Structure 1
Amino acid sequence: MKHLIHNNHTRFLSSLASIHTKPLNPSNFITPFDPFQFLNESTKSRSFTLRETNIIHTQFLKSNLLHSDADLSNFLLSSYVKASSFGYAHNVFDGMCERDISSWNLIIGCWNRELKYADSWGMFCKLRSLGFYPNEFTYGSVLSACIGFSFVNGGRLIYALALKHGFALDGYVRSGLIDLFLKSWCFEDALRVFYDEYCGNVVCWNAIISGAVKHNEDAVGLNLFRQMCSGNPSPNKFTFPSVFGACAKREKLELGKGVHGLVIKYGEQEDLVVGTAIVDFYAKCGEVDEALKKFSRMSVRNVVSWTAIITGFVQKGEHQSALKLFKEMIILKEEINIYTVTSVLSGCTNPVSFQVHCWTYKTGFYSDSTVKNSLINLYSKTGSIELSEEVFRDTKDLKNPSTWSAMITSFSHNGSLEKAFGMLKRMFWEGLTPDISCIPSLLSIINRLELGEQIHCYTRKTGVFFNPLVGCSLSTMYSKCGSLNDSYEIFEQIHDKDNVSWASMIAGFTEHGFAYKAIELFREMILSDVILDDTTLTAVLPACTSLQVLKLGKEIHGFFIKKQDSKFVYGGSPIVNMYSKCGELKLANKVFSMMPFKDQISCSSLLSGYAQNGYAKEALLLFLELRSSGLKIDSFTVSTVLGAVGDLNQTDIGIGIQLHAYILKLGFESDDPVGSSLVTMYSKCGAVDDCYKAFEQIYKPDLISWTSMINSYAQHGKGLEALKVYDLMTKSGTKPDFVTFVGVLTACSHSGLVNEGYAYLKSMVNDYGIQPGQRHYACMVDILGRSGKLKEAERFIRSMPIEPGALVWGTLLAACKVHGDVEIGKIAAERFIELEPSSDGGYVALSNICADVGQWEEVLKIRDEMKGTGIKKEAGWSYV
């Protein structure tokens, strides 16, 4: 036994020898142990192992001073906590006769390290009940406990105590309370604590700025940063990443460049986290060249830096550059994580996707569900939905709802409603709950109300209905299915309406002919706390266009200018489009010219405005400007300029032929809108054969294409050819519409096909459920009139199920002039004059009929009537 005690004492002294800064002499081994001399500053700051602490504990017990001296007990307590020996720590605390506030702080910290935050709170309550006064470390520790189990009300009580005892201004306490409120999503409370008293602690500033950005209060975060830069404390390397994140989200490029300058000023540009934040900022703002420049200058890079620059190239559409960087990562054997792989996959194209797919399989990333989901989305995006299904079938863990949801989303994006619903049913059979992310995608392709109602019931049952994105998608679905009342009812039930929800409902009202209601809803939106953006502007301006209320459109434009956002100050595509469609081409051009960055949509809107308002030359000049600027030219733009060419000069088709050649170069000749516009353009220029050639180039003609070809033949007197095209159209499965039958009846008129005209008029109602309008009845009257059947035409008019208009009676009047029928001509003229009293057409036509048959007295009588009513015949004129 004596031998064991001697050996233990020797080992302890050896341990003590390693603690002291100077080596111990052998003579010191027989010196009695002095605990107070042992607790010098170097000893207190050092961490001991559990074995060393046990030896020290033994020596303290031998000194008989442990239980009577709080410093010795606190030292042991601290050492056991540092060694993660929590049981020993509790034993030491329980055995203490004398405890001070440091003892309580240590044991509260011990409970925190054990993640037993409720016990930590209970220990704080106990020390208060025993009359101890907490210090800043106590408050900091107990606030950490409140953070641990999200005890917000406890945090408020702690702050009240800290205020009472004068510790509220302590940086440790304030930062802890701010952190608690931020992690509990109580940003307003955190901001109030920060602003209670001026704070010079950089930790508090960093915490509130970071919290603002994380809570999507980017404007508040940036304003706080401006305040920080104008006073104390100065920002540091922990401040800048949050600020760059806010600048990226709000696309504040110039502000971000200024922050970059501050980073250089404060010498933080070499910090890895700050450098990565700068790369990410430039990449997200579309300045990939600047991002690459900063990335190339970084002395140290990590996986986050690489992923940020790769993601930037992907978002800008420079997929080859992204893949090149990814290959460089592989060559340099840089760390690659899931986020890097998913970013690369999002930028892959068909041939490359197989290579990356194989690489993920080889490296083991393929087994990760997130990578599988990205592959499913990739193949779906490239139109290879069967490969998406193959990846899904290759998934071993089919209990992961995210993979099922990715497949449902893929089917939805490819318009496969039946397969998407089938996949959803299979999920339910497997007892799985789909991710909330796939519900909006599924709702976006639903075109049958009963299916939408089923999904609506499901969202109610599971509670996901209250998600703003789901609620917005449901509202849009009902609007698309024609149930506007249900759409508005759901919109009103969305608790936290975001700008997308408001914009979607405003657009729904406009699309269904309730433009006034759309404007009212916009006014209601202004009074809410929703941030107005270009989504809102895009939704509300079509309502102004629909109502043709230019004044209101100007007011809305002015309202957005007051926001002092450069997007609205200089104008944008929705504003140009509104002014163009309202006929204010000068304002449209002015806004367009002020735009610092002109996009393809704004160019097309202005071009369309010029074309529709008869400014063909201006439309052509703008098209040339668009082409020389390098902006992308789409089929809509080409179709619009073709329409302008058709109105420019009906005798010279040289410009039209040049445009046709350019269209062939672009590969748009088989596109339906372009093909239809080519047919119409050649028809206006009288080149009917070229019309048919252009029509034959269309890969799958739609209704507009077929109708354009029918009208072209009909207007140029080739009625039989027009009817042949109509037969081909019906055989192809394309159903005619209101406009198609106008062309068909016009063709019958030009070819004298009376019986066929009656048959087609009857087919409209019986076969297609289209009720004939004034234009159709006028065509039928023209068919009868050209065939000399004027009395039959009059009977036809009187038997019409709708009240005949001026167009119908005017057509009969024209036929009477051709055939010299004065009796029926007078009837037709009287009815025409009743319907169009201010027009000279009826008087002139009747006068000409009477003159042709020698009834000059009637001619003078008619002219006297014209003078009596104040109507004057317009002078004739000619180009010759």
Structure 2
Amino acid sequence: MIRRRIGFLRSFSTHSLPVLRPKQRFHPSEIFKCNQTILRLAKLGRVKEARQVFDSTPQKDSVTWNSMISGYIENGCLKEANSLFHSFEGKNVRSWTIMLNGFFKYGFIDEARMVFESMPERNIVSWNSLVSGYVQNGDLRKAREMFNKMPERNVSSWNSMITGYCRCGMMKEAREMFHRMEDELRNSVTWMVLVSGYVEVKEYREAWGVFLMMLRSVTRPDQALLVVGLSAASGLNDLDLVLCLRTVGIKLGLEDDVVVGTAVLNSYTRNESLDEAIKFFELMPRKNEYTWTTMITAFSHYSKLNDAVALYERCGEKSVAIRTTMMSVYAQQGNIYEARRIFDEIVNPDVITWNAMISGYAQNGLLEEAKDLFLRMPVRNPISWAAMISGFVQNGSNKEALDLFVELLKTGSIPNHWGFTSVLLACANDEDIEAGRQIHSLTIKSGAQNNSFVGNSLISMYAKCKQMEDVSQVFNAMRIRDTVSWNSVISGLLENCMLDEAINILKNMPNQDVVSWTAIISAYVRDGQGEDALKIFLDMLAVGIKPNYLTFTSLLSTCGNLAASKLGKQLHALIIKYGLSSFVCVCNSLISMYSKCGSVDGLHVFEDMPGRDIVTWNAVLTGCAQNGLGKEAVEIFEEMEATGVPPDEISFLGVLGACSHAGLVDQGRAYFISMTQDHGIKPSVYHYTCMVDLLGGAGLLSEAEALIQNMPVEADSAIWDALFTACKIHGNMKIGQRVAGRLLKMGHKDLLLRS
């Protein structure tokens, strides 16, 4: 079990390593060179090589020791860092502070506090590290206590506390701390943290108000402040404000600043203004790799793969980051071999690129390829392990995910929060409450439970395992409760059919968002309470929450089930108003809704779509089948094959059903044969039922009966009922009696009576 394999969490060793004594004097420049080499290797994750350089350096100064200790900490080797720290006889205040930060970084709060209390001397940097460490671990009460005890404070001290409150969504306390600061002490970071804090909790008007206050103050906005101002304007979905900030940028001489320009571009893409984003991108005088990746990602978001590829080809110098982005786009669109081609073109891929390729394979169900790449990686970081664990989970290999997590523990490394969240999802999927509790214990020992992502995953895990008391305990113990935390509790309650309790949580939620409202709407839809879902939707609009694409897909499903075409059209108008008509999944839902309502408007939506996926083609084919549009289905199916989209089982169900309704026997036969011969798809009983409907409708009853008798899958009552109905229509008593005997033997007398 996991509990028996977590030896790395035992007390850190404090025994001394042998101290190497210098045998010869080194020139300061040589020592400096060794120190830089250690730092460089550690930064690349090559910590063993860094230690070799450290051990082979005959003369070390305090920077050498501190560099090696920092290198260990940076690579998650906290045990080794602690051991080296205790063997260093010449520790200075920086050495102590590095170790203090290291313990805080990995959540060992008690050990960090002991280091601070043991320090022979402290300076303001040490005090700031203490306060910042408590802030990072979500213990704001202790952070504030230490802040109040500080013998002196500087702007970093104040900014740390404001940052902590903002991260926890405690904007009232952050604003109070901000006003307590002397005006002349505030710097651009202070303003930026406060504006960003309001943006993070989606209080965009407050964010914009603080930004305007900053503009009216003596502070001249710099590049970073203009960027957070653009974030506030984007949140308000006000492109006029974005234009105003572009004007401010020009007045400040930042019109050609690539960072500001990229932030403007990002504002357009976030507000679903792709056309404006394209125009702005083309006019940008300077572009960096983030500019290119932002635009490539935007095209991918709208399923415009060809445009993304064309833009990628335009890039002059394709950096590793740009190649990695295009590689990820190909992988997300299912073109994994193109993604691998780009990966192979990169001469020296960094660990981020390796991780992206592993994730790409995992997303496309190619676990063996992902594992092979993982084992071949020259350097792994915590994200590499998390990506592989997540890959197993995505593909339903939850046991393998747990095993790999144990292997990670055996290396002595501490999992990052992504590793914990992925393995907790594995426990949730298997409803393995025992393993989940052990990992929960591990998160407490490592301090990771204070991370909001881990806390939210614990809530989801316990909810999936139907342990609602544990959900309540985790939620109440969380130091940082963000919007996701509240939404996780709501989702957990809904999963356990506790709708009334979920609504109460929504009412008490400090910062409601579209996710929480959509979860409630979807729950009503799943329960068949469409009218209640629509009422909740109207309440959502009344409080000013903007619906997203998931909101509309749920509501369109209700309209389709109720055959409420008029209401569906009203929702369609709202979709256009909110700029969501370019989302492929929304268009797919519109096609399904119109088809269920017997309207041909679904075909118009299909024709106007900027991008299509396999779900789109299947939706329109199914719609044609439902409404007897056989010729249209044949044309669409042929168009589908012509565009290079391979049909799947559902595609053939759609086109065979359409042929059946329209009596297109020859086309139906051809598609049924092509399904196996050309596409390698084995027909299911549902495909055979479509063929029986088709043949039976055309009066080819003997052929239909022979098809049932010779098919390799077991016949169900539905397929015999289809043939029996055809026999009644065509008055074939001989075959009809045989079929009736079959149905009686299967115990389906009710079908005969109904027919």
Letter in 1 for 2:749: Y
Matched, 1:692 2:603: yes
Letter in 2 for 1:309: L
Which of 674, 695, 699 is equivalent to 1:763? Answer: 674
Partner residue, 2:20: none
Deviation at 1:468, TM superposition (A): 0.7
- Is residue 327–residue 343 contact of structure 2 (8 Å, CA) maintained in 1? no
Change (3 A) 1:314 1:297: closer
Partner residue, 1:289: 208
- Is residue 427–residue 433 contact of structure 2 (8 Å, CA) maintained in 1? no
Partner residue, 1:411: 326
Unaligned runs of 5+ in 2: 1-24, 33-59, 70-81, 200-205, 235-241, 266-276, 300-307
- Is residue 386–residue 422 contact of structure 2 (8 Å, CA) maintained in 1? yes
Deviation at 1:413, TM superposition (A): 5.0
- Is residue 244–residue 277 contact of structure 1 (8 Å, CA) maintained in 2? no
* Cα offsets for 1:535-589 (capped at 9, x unmatched): 4577678888xxxx87716356424322245747996444444555665544443
Cα distance in structure 2, aligned partners of 1:373 and 1:497: 30
Where do 1:790-801 residues align within 5 Å?
793-801=704-712
Which of 521, 526, 541 is equivalent to 1:612? Answer: 526
Change (3 A) 1:813 1:523: farther
- Is residue 675–residue 682 contact of structure 2 (8 Å, CA) maintained in 1? yes
Partner residue, 1:496: 414
- Tell which deviates more after alignment, 516-525 or 495-504: 516-525
Change (3 A) 1:734 1:815: same
Question: SS state of the match for residue 419, structure 2?
Answer: helix
* Cα offsets for 1:510-554 (capped at 9, x unmatched): 8xxxx216766543431212226554577678888xxxx877163
Matched, 1:843 2:755: no
* Cα offsets for 1:351-394 (capped at 9, x unmatched): 55677645xxxxxxxxxxxx95555545655668877777754x
Partner residue, 1:194: 116
Matched, 1:708 2:619: yes
Cα distance in structure 2, aligned partners of 1:291 and 1:232: 28
Which of 111, 128, 132 is equivalent to 1:213? Answer: 132
Deviation at 1:258, TM superposition (A): 4.0
Q: Report the structure number with the largest CA radius of gyration.
A: 1
Partner residue, 2:177: 259
- Tell which deviates more after alignment, 485-494 or 689-698: 485-494
Partner residue, 2:553: 639
Letter in 2 for 1:292: F
* Cα offsets for 1:454-488 (capped at 9, x unmatched): 743552xx3x21x1123223444566688877766
Where do 1:112-123 residues align within 5 Å?
none
Change (3 A) 1:158 1:790: closer
Letter in 1 for 2:327: S
Deviation at 1:210, TM superposition (A): 1.9
Cα distance in structure 2, aligned partners of 1:701 and 1:404: 30
Cα distance in structure 1, aligned partners of 2:518 and 2:386: 29
Q: Which is bigger in relative contact order (C-alpha 8 A, separation at least 6)?
A: 2
Cα distance in structure 2, aligned partners of 1:661 and 1:576: 30
Question: SS state of the match for residue 644, structure 1?
Answer: helix
Partner residue, 2:535: 621
Cα distance in structure 2, aligned partners of 1:675 and 1:749: 26
Cα distance in structure 2, aligned partners of 1:717 and 1:613: 30
Change (3 A) 1:571 1:734: same
TM-score by length of structure 2 reads: 0.69
Cα distance in structure 1, aligned partners of 2:422 and 2:184: 44
Partner residue, 2:509: 595
Which of 208, 228, 231 is equivalent to 1:312? Answer: 228
Cα distance in structure 2, aligned partners of 1:522 and 1:565: 20
* Cα offsets for 1:708-752 (capped at 9, x unmatched): 333333334444444444334333433332233333333343344
Cα distance in structure 2, aligned partners of 1:421 and 1:578: 38
Alpha-carbon RMSD across the aligned residues, in angstroms, is 4.9
Matched, 1:440 2:355: yes
Cα distance in structure 2, aligned partners of 1:706 and 1:502: 38
Change (3 A) 1:526 1:629: same
Letter in 2 for 1:436: V
Change (3 A) 1:697 1:241: closer
Which of 341, 364, 386 is equivalent to 1:472? Answer: 386
Change (3 A) 1:721 1:146: closer
Deviation at 1:766, TM superposition (A): 2.2
Change (3 A) 1:583 1:406: same
Change (3 A) 1:783 1:520: farther
* Cα offsets for 1:660-683 (capped at 9, x unmatched): 444455565565434443333333
Letter in 1 for 2:571: L
Deviation at 1:813, TM superposition (A): 4.3
Where do 1:441-840 residues align within 5 Å?
441-446=356-361, 447=364, 452=370, 455-459=373-377, 462=378, 464-465=379-380, 467-476=381-390, 490-494=404-408, 495-507=413-425, 515-516=429-430, 522-529=436-443, 530-531=448-449, 535-536=453-454, 552=466, 554-555=468-469, 557-564=471-478, 567=481, 572-577=486-491, 579-580=493-494, 584-648=498-562, 650=563, 653-665=565-577, 672-687=584-599, 689-752=600-663, 757-788=668-699, 793-815=704-726, 818=729, 828=739, 831-832=742-743, 835=746
Change (3 A) 1:504 1:812: same
Deviation at 1:207, TM superposition (A): 1.7
Change (3 A) 1:695 1:537: farther
Change (3 A) 1:677 1:810: same
Task: Give percent identity, aligned residues only.
Answer: 22
- Is residue 580–residue 586 contact of structure 2 (8 Å, CA) maintained in 1? yes
Change (3 A) 1:790 1:260: same
Change (3 A) 1:793 1:472: same
Cα distance in structure 2, aligned partners of 1:418 and 1:712: 33
Change (3 A) 1:315 1:604: same
Cα distance in structure 2, aligned partners of 1:247 and 1:439: 36
Cα distance in structure 2, aligned partners of 1:771 and 1:116: 70
Question: SS state of the match for residue 528, structure 1?
Answer: helix
Change (3 A) 1:329 1:435: farther
- Is residue 817–residue 846 contact of structure 1 (8 Å, CA) maintained in 2? no
Deviation at 1:768, TM superposition (A): 2.2
TM-score by length of structure 1 reads: 0.60
* Cα offsets for 1:24-57 (capped at 9, x unmatched): xxxxxxxxxxxxxxxxxxxxxxxxxxxxxxxxxx
Cα distance in structure 2, aligned partners of 1:744 and 1:153: 69
Letter in 1 for 2:324: T
- Is residue 714–residue 744 contact of structure 1 (8 Å, CA) maintained in 2? yes
Matched, 1:330 2:253: yes
Change (3 A) 1:657 1:256: closer
Letter in 2 for 1:210: S
* Cα offsets for 1:574-627 (capped at 9, x unmatched): 444455566554444343333333322333333333333322222333333444
Change (3 A) 1:572 1:468: same
Deviation at 1:835, TM superposition (A): 4.7
Where do 1:24-63 residues align within 5 Å?
none
- Tell which deviates more after alignment, 438-447 or 280-289: 438-447
* Cα offsets for 1:647-672 (capped at 9, x unmatched): 23x4x633233334444555655654
The count of residues paired between Structure 1 and Structure 2 equals: 636
- Is residue 134–residue 140 contact of structure 2 (8 Å, CA) maintained in 1? no
Cα distance in structure 2, aligned partners of 1:354 and 1:818: 65
